[in-house]
Structure 1
Amino acid sequence: MTEEKLEGLAVQLGTPSFVFDTDILKKRAGWIKEMIHPAKLCFAIKANPFLVEALESQADRYEVCSPGEFHICVERKLPMEKIVLSGVNKEYEDVRYAMEQGVTHYTAESRSQLELVSRCADELDRQVELLLRVTSGNQFGMSEADVTECIRDREKFPHVTMVGLQYFTGTQKKIMKKIAGEVEYIEDFARRLEEEEQFVTKVLEFGPGLGVPYFTKDDFEEDERLLTEFMELFQEPRPYDIVFEMGRFLTASCGYYMTKIMDQKKNDAVNVCIVDGGINHVNYYGQNMAMKTPILSYFPQHSLEEKDEEEWTVYGSLCTVADILLKKLPLTDARVGDYLVFHNIGAYSVTEGIYLFLSRKMPKIYLYSEDEGVVKLRDGLETWMLNTCK
């Protein structure tokens, strides 16, 4: 998106707002699909549930990890055959409801989850497919011993077909040697299961967790190189279908966060800007912004005077010293009413901010494309009603 278009949208739409450029999103999804072919692409909708419809033609699967996420899929009328119901703490009512809606793909994070999926399938007389998630040492998935035990007991679950394994170890990974070791591990485990348990893996779902660039000192060429190097690990054909689960790597680059300078002052030797956003809206960035500068655009709304650049510390509107977005941001003739637009914010921040803190209004959310222009998905949403008793 051009700088001129970005400024026009900031002025037109008001702040604080998120804008997701679906042209950028679909172009990136198409590139990823081409790079990973013949593997399938699974969109982890926790990265940005506002993009589920925009990706419908390119996502082969949707990873759904909570009852709320599943209700979004139902409300947006997503194809049930594309959904993989994943996540810890699946409950009976939620699994049964998903199965009644037509979901046939599930993962099991534990033996009890396998038994739960089997129970619902037995009650509804539905045949379903299930991936056994292998742990990487955290709360997700099962140990090799537990996975093996489930496989040995597979005849006890007549309505459940165990089709393979799921493996994901984390995000923002940029060291290919580490990722290659993870691929080698899970594929070796699949081989051992076939040799020792006569279990043939038909599907392997793998989350590479490839890193994305956010800050000015990041290597933005590394983005494309990472996927290229990752796919070199899969040059040889596999005896099973491969599904790559992606969230951040797929969606980060399509997003913009727009905020406006609302107040300025000088506290001792520090130039202070107060904006109408904050870490309640861009929490993921906020973990690093005090030390790193993200890619952003500055749009003054006045005729610039010939002044030297000054360094500004940018604070949000929350009553906490933690609400620092940026330190030492160089700006020329910055004034109240000017806009700051943060780039590459299409993943996570739209949902993971501490939105209820201070009962501030939530940002507006828009999609943008050249063909359709601006489409409002959500107006600014008041939160104070959630923080009081009726």
Structure 2
Amino acid sequence: MNQEVITHIVNEFNTPIYIYDGEKIEHQYKLLKSCLPKHFEVFYSVKANPLLGVCQLFKKLGSQIEVASLAELQTAFQAGFTPDQIIFTSPGKTIEELETSIDRQIYSINVESLEEAILINHIGQKKGRQVPISVRINPDFNLSGAGLRMTGVPTQFGIDQSQLEEALGTIQSLPYLKLIGLHIYTGSQMLAASLIIKNMEEIIKLAITVSETYAFPLQFLDLGGGFGIPYFTGEQYLDMDELGKGLQTVWETYAHKLEGTRIGVESGRFLMAESGLFVTKVLYVKESKGTKYVVCDGGSNHHASSAFLGRHIRNNFPMHVHSQEEQDELTEVTVVGSLCTPTDVIGQKVKLGKVDSGDYIVVEKSGAYGLTHSPVLFLSHQLPAEVLYKQGQVHVLRERGSVEDFFKGQKLLSTHEELLQRT
């Protein structure tokens, strides 16, 4: 996606805006598939970017899908996924979400607690239907080296390995549950192939041990994911050749134990992050006590990940001034949005070329956990448009929001006279 394309899109749809490169999405999906053993399936993690058009593209590419809410479940169906291609993972599923998943007969509900399993059994009993589930385990090990660890520590995700005997004993006694598999997700944003390989080997070994110990056929094994992409200075791309060779060796070692088992990996960030650009227009350039500020029309309310909201340590996404040739002279600036809070910083002390009002700042690697991860209601700015560029065509995935959107569902207080009339 070249500079001219970006200029055309910005001129037509204004800013702030998310632009996704459909060719890059396809490339990342095929790259990941190419390094996995042939038997493995990819489940797109909708939470990374839940746009209907994005999910539709992954369906066309041959992906399965992993959802974590009722809206994501409905998105999966609208995008064309069939029940056998859908798994539901979340530590806090509501009764409505569970009932809909059961009614639509999705492939697996990944259970995160014994209490959830008991609730699913109760719903299954009411509906007269046995429900396929996979148990998510929080193992004692964590070899991931992940930026965000999700196992081996206290967590809301899954059932602790030390509690498996009691939990599986109860689950296997519940007549309306069909235990078909196990799910282990150890961490996110892993960049070392050797650690991913070792981690997945340990997951496979644990899954085989659990299925043999508790005497149930392992129909499904969700290995999680965590495939990372480099955002920051000093980070290296994941070595896909090493990953592919290592995973194939692991698979050849344990394939005889997993004959007939459906193997899945989840991915969102790896598939989507590098496809996306967040483009925001410079409104003002000012100085304050020695710091140069670039004030833009889009900020942390639209791109919380770039602002590192909620993080104790921040870094900067790669960014540049649009349509600007590479310059020798760079100036240190802080890029901010238009919110009335000092946390609205999407680039702190970044080095940019000459920047003026009317220029555009492009935040790279913004395809995953962008708008979907952001506090869009803060200050009630309109939602940015989201578009996808593929094979020379621009597809609008989400129209730009309007001021009227923020009044949908709201009600004025009733006056005293109106309350009297109702009585």
Q: What is the percentage of aligned positions where both structures have the same residue?
A: 25
Does the 8 Å contact 1:264/1:272 carry over to 2?
Answer: yes
1:283–1:226 Cα change, 3 Å: farther
Further displaced range: 40-49 or 158-167: 158-167
Structure 2: 5+ residue runs without aligned partners?
139-150, 413-423
Q: Comparing 176-185 with 338-347, which one deviates more in the overlay?
A: 176-185
Q: Describe the superposition over 1:14-63 as per-residue Cα deviations: whole angstroms up to 9, x where unpaired.
A: 10011122221112112212221220111110011112111112354211
Q: Structure 1 residues 264, 99: closer, same or farther in 2, change over 3 A?
A: same
Alpha-carbon offset, residue 313 of structure 1: 1.8
The residue that corresponds to 2:101 in the other structure is 98
1:215-230 to 2 correspondences below 5 Å:
215-219=232-236, 221-222=237-238, 224=240, 227-228=243-244
The answer to whether the aligner puts 1:70 opposite 2:73 as a matched pair is yes
TM-score, scaled relative to structure 1: 0.88
| Aligned counterpart in structure 2 of residue 252 of structure 1, from 268, 273, 291 | 273
What's 1:277 paired with?
A: 298
CA displacement at 1:262 relative to structure 2:
0.6
CA deviation digits over 1:135-158, x for unaligned, max 9?
123111002244333433455333
- Corresponding residue SS for 1:164: strand
In structure 2, the residue matched to 1:10 is: 10
Q: Which residue of 1 aligns with 2:146?
A: none
- RMSD across aligned C-alpha pairs, in angstroms? 2.9
Matched, 1:120 2:123: yes
State the Cα distance separating 1:360 from its structure 2 match. Answer: 1.9
Instruction: Tell me, yes or no, if structure 1 residue 28 matches structure 2 residue 45.
Output: no
Match of 1:368 in 2: 389
Task: Quote the residue 2:55 is aligned against.
Answer: 52
1:381 and 1:40, CA in 2 relative to 1: closer, same or farther beyond 3 A?
farther
Q: Is the 8 A contact 1:307 1:333 kept in 2?
A: no
- Residue from 237, 250, 256 that aligns with 1:234: 250
Is the alpha carbon distance of 1:180 and 1:356 closer, same or farther for their aligned partners in structure 2, counting shifts above 3 Å? same
Taking the TM superposition and a 5 Å limit, the aligned residue runs for 1:1-390 are: 1-36=1-36, 37-50=38-51, 51-135=54-138, 136=151, 137=153, 138-153=155-170, 155-176=172-193, 178-219=195-236, 221-222=237-238, 224=240, 227-228=243-244, 231-232=247-248, 234-236=250-252, 237-238=254-255, 239=258, 240-287=261-308, 292-299=315-322, 308-382=329-403, 384-385=406-407, 390=412
- Count of matched residue pairs: 386
Q: Is the 8 A contact 1:290 1:327 kept in 2?
A: no
* Structure 2 length-normalised TM: 0.82
Tell whether the 8 Å contact from 1:298 to 1:341 is kept in structure 2 after alignment: yes
What is the alpha-carbon distance in structure 2 between the residues aligned to residue 4 and residue 192 of structure 1? Answer: 56
Distance 1:122 1:226, change over 3 A: farther
Q: 1:31 & 1:297 partners in 2: Cα distance?
A: 27
| Cα separation, partners in 2 of 1:164 and 1:186, compared to 1, 3 Å | same
Contact 1:260–1:276 at 8 Å: present in 2 too?
Answer: yes
Residue type of the alignment partner of 1:294: F
Partner AA of 1:4 in structure 2: E
1:119-166 deviations in Å (ceiling 9; x for gaps): 223332334321110012311100224433343345533343211210
Change (3 A) 1:367 1:263: same
- 1:355–1:362 contact (8 Å) kept in structure 2: yes
- Residues 289, 324 of structure 1: 8 Å contact kept: no
Report the AA paired with residue 90 of structure 1: K
- 3-state DSSP of counterpart to 1:52: helix
Gaps of 5+ in 1: none
Residues 319-345 of structure 1: CA deviation (Å, up to 9, x unaligned): 111112223433443211111112211
Bigger shift: residues 241-250 or 155-164: 155-164
Distance 2:346 2:330 in 1: 19
Distance (Å, rounded) in 2 between the aligned partners of 1:223 and 1:328: 30
Q: In the TM superposition, what whole-angstrom CA distance separates every residue of 1:345-383 from its partner, at most 9, and x where no partner exists?
A: 111112111211122222111122125333242322446
Q: Secondary structure at the match of 1:122?
A: helix
